Structure formats: C-alpha cells, structure tokens
C-alpha cells in the first residue's frame, strides 16, 4: 500500500507466504510512502509464512513493514506468525515517524537475525500496544543476541 488513507482496509484476510524455506525476498504487508489523513486499518487478518533475506532495506518486517513518514496505522485482532527475516522485526517492523496502534493481536513464532523477533520499532512518533484480548503462546519468537 502506498500513500493510503484512512479508507484503506484489509479485513478478515489470510495473507500467506511460501515459508521461511523460500529463497524469494518478500513480505506480507508493506505500508510505504505517506498518508496525509490517517492510514490503513488492518483487522482480523492472518499474516503468516513470509521470509525476507539479503540486500539492505529488504530485511525488515517479514510479516508487516510500516515504512511511511506520516502514516497512522491500526492493526487489530490479527495473528502474525511464522515470519522470518535476516534483519529486524520478523513479525512487524515500524520505522520513520509513523503512529501505530497494535490491539488484540497475536504475535507468535516470528524470528529475526537482528532485533525484535515479534516486533521492532525505530524512530516513531507513537507506538501504542493494547494487550487486552491479546495472547502470547510458547516462547518461539526469537532474535539474534547482541554482541
């Protein structure tokens, strides 16, 4: 999604990749550019099995990458699992000065070679996580140790 507004909705979708064994570089959802009046609403989606690898700028956020200067993104009631990246944020990665609300989501078994197996955030204006109704199951979300 590029330069989307508050009317952009992904609802009740299965967005599935080829799994971490695939050699392709791809991710589930990419929110890129700017949104002058709000941003996308992602609700009730199952985002799973994506892998990003190799060149710089493709290694963040295998499940969801929010890379938008003024986006306001709402991720609600989603399951984001079994995503893997060699960089940051296997499940969700957020950068720039986006505002992101993550509510009632499950982040499970996401992996990365850098920081934030489930969630990685950098340079944000605001990140709000509401845990009511959320769940975390078995400790399968991993990140590489820092040296």
Going residue by residue through the chain (147 aa), what tens digit of pLDDT does each one get?
444 555 678 888 888 876 444 444 578 888 876 655 567 889 999 999 888 865 554 678 889 988 877 778 889 999 999 998 888 889 998 887 678 888 889 999 998 888 888 888 887 777 777 765 544 444 445 444 443
Q: What is the pLDDT of residue 44?
A: 94
Q: With 0-12 CB in 10 A as exposed, 13-18 as middle and 19+ as buried, what is 35?
A: buried
Residues forming a β-bridge with 31: 66
Q: What is the DSSP code string of 55-119?
A: STTSSS-SSEEEEESS-EEEEES-EEES-EESSS-SSEEEETT-EEEEES-EEES-EESSS-SSE
Q: Specify the 3-state DSSP secondary structure of 131.
A: coil
Q: What is the pLDDT of residue 18?
A: 62
Q: What is the pLDDT of residue 137?
A: 47
Q: What is the pLDDT of residue 50?
A: 87
Q: What is the pLDDT of residue 21?
A: 46
Q: What is the DSSP code string of 20-52?
A: TT--S---SEEEEE--TT---EEES-EEE--EE
């Amino acid at each position: 999604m590029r330069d989307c507004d508050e009317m952009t909705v992904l609802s009740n979708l299965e967005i599935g990749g080829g799994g971490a064994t695939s050699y392709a570089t791809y991710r589930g959802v990419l929110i890129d550019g700017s949104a002058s009046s709000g941003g996308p609403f992602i609700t009730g989606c199952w985002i799973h099995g994506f892998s990003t690898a190799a060149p710089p700028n493709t290694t963040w956020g295998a499940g969801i990458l929010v890379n938008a200067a003024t986006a306001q993104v709402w991720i609600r009631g989603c399951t984001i699992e079994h995503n893997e990246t060699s960089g940051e944020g296997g499940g969700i990665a957020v950068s720039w000065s986006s505002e992101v609300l993550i509510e009632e989501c499950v982040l499970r078994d996401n992996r990365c070679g850098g920081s934030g197996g489930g969630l990685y955030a950098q340079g944000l204006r605001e990140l709000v996580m509401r845990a009511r109704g959320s769940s975390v199951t078995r400790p399968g979300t991993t990140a590489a140790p820092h040296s």
